[in-house]
Amino acid sequence: MQNKFKLKMKKITLGLLVALAFSCQDQKPEHITFKGNADNIEDGTSVYLSQLGEQGQPQPIDTITVEKGSFEIDLPEVDFETLNILRIDGARGNIIFINENEPITATIYKDSLRSSEIKGGDSNKLFNEYVSEIKEVRSEMQKMVAEYQKNNPDLRQNPELMKEIQEKQKELQDKNSEKFKEMVANHPNSLVSVLILSDIINAKSVSTTEAKELFDNLSEDVKKTPIGKQLDESLTKATATAIGSKAPDFSAPTPDGKELSLKDAMGKVTIIDFWASWCKPCRIENPNVVKLYNKYHDKGLNILGVSLDKNGQKDKWLKAIEDDGLTWQHVSNLEYWKGPVAQMYSVSSIPATFILDENGIIVAKDLRGDALEAKIAEMLP
């Protein structure tokens, strides 16, 4: 599944930090510092400290250099936890940590930042636990794919097998999301809870209603952080397209350049299908959607395809429609993830589907394969 991180944090990769717990102190130290042991990094190498700002972009705080195999940065005292990014010249990626007014010590590995060891306060410990869980799930998924490849070296030539792998990976992801939801519920006053909640929302491992309940349970301090405000805004938009809500109307250009609105494309049952010519999972799923459309169109099923193809690639969009036999109506602004319809429906990964009844009420989302056909058969017996 093609994913993007909606909260304007594309440059931040959670998997680059391995944090260890540091016991809390009864009193704040006179100076809160980040001390880094970097004996594998050349003296004179620049180290840059930034803090995630209000606009979701890193704001520079300080720059220092490695001297005698180490460095030390004074951390600003904060009213509440902040997300911080440490960048090292010549090293790929970033190190992420939480400034929680606790001293931090670190052993930095320039050639493997994800193996760096960070010791901090309670929120950094929670962050470490979360990252460890992510790494474990990824490892299990890789092992799963490797097992399939033993007897099927080129999985790309076997769409059915690819679909089976994706379904099993989704099951594993959903199972692990239960642990993540517990982390959020048990740590309402930690900035890390917002990061976790954002990730499971983007992975579609939690319903909008449940995500809103988890967010509402967070402390006001957490909600007022830049990340908290962004998540609140995203949830507000997502609520508008939650199951039970009336689907927002929209219009967009068809392949021949005319404007087509959702209300003019609707049938007794309507599927809004977000996809793109470059999306392999979408293309793998298309034969199933074609079969479904051919079976139920005469009974009242309409499909409106909304493509997230890129600007200047209209030819690829049209060729995919023809090659895959997608005979229903299509629209696209050709603006990739920034397309207004995708933004309106808070689409952060594709394929994404919204199933509407004859009144335009969203009755189901993101169903595929047998599950999608079962829903359509129920609505159009």
Q: Tell me the pLDDT tens digit for each residue of 323-367.
A: 999 999 999 999 999 999 999 998 989 999 999 999 999 999 999
Residues 151 and 147: their CA atoms lie apart, in Å, by 8
Residue whose structure tokens are 């004179």: 44
Q: Does residue 146 contact residue 138 with C-beta atoms inside 8 Å?
A: no
Q: Which whole-number Å values give the CA distances from 132 to 126, 201, 239, 268, 361, in the listed order?
A: 10, 19, 31, 47, 40
Provide Rg for the chain, Cα atoms. Answer: 24
pLDDT of 169 above 70: yes
Q: Does residue 286 contact residue 305 with C-beta atoms inside 8 Å?
A: no
Residues 217 and 219: their CA atoms lie apart, in Å, by 7
Residues 191-200 have a mean pLDDT of 94
User: 3-state class of 236 per DSSP?
Assistant: helix
pTM of the predicted model as reported, rounded to 2 decimal places: 0.64
Chain segment 231-250, per-residue pLDDT in tens:
998 898 888 898 999 999 99
Our CA dihedral for 100, 113, 171, 351, rounded to 10 degrees, sits at: 100
Top pLDDT among 159 and 187 is at: 187
CA 312: distance to chain centroid? Answer: 26
pLDDT at site 156: 67
Q: Does residue 288 contact residue 369 with C-beta atoms inside 8 Å?
A: yes
pLDDT at site 155: 66
Residue whose structure tokens are 């909600």: 223
Chain segment 24-76, per-residue pLDDT in tens:
333 444 568 999 998 889 999 999 999 988 777 889 999 999 999 999 999 99
Residues 248-261 have a mean pLDDT of 96
pLDDT at site 130: 93
Domains of the chain: 2-123 (2.60.40.10), 126-239 (no CATH), 251-379 (3.40.30.10)
In this structure, the chain runs to a length of 381
Average pLDDT across the chain, whole number: 87
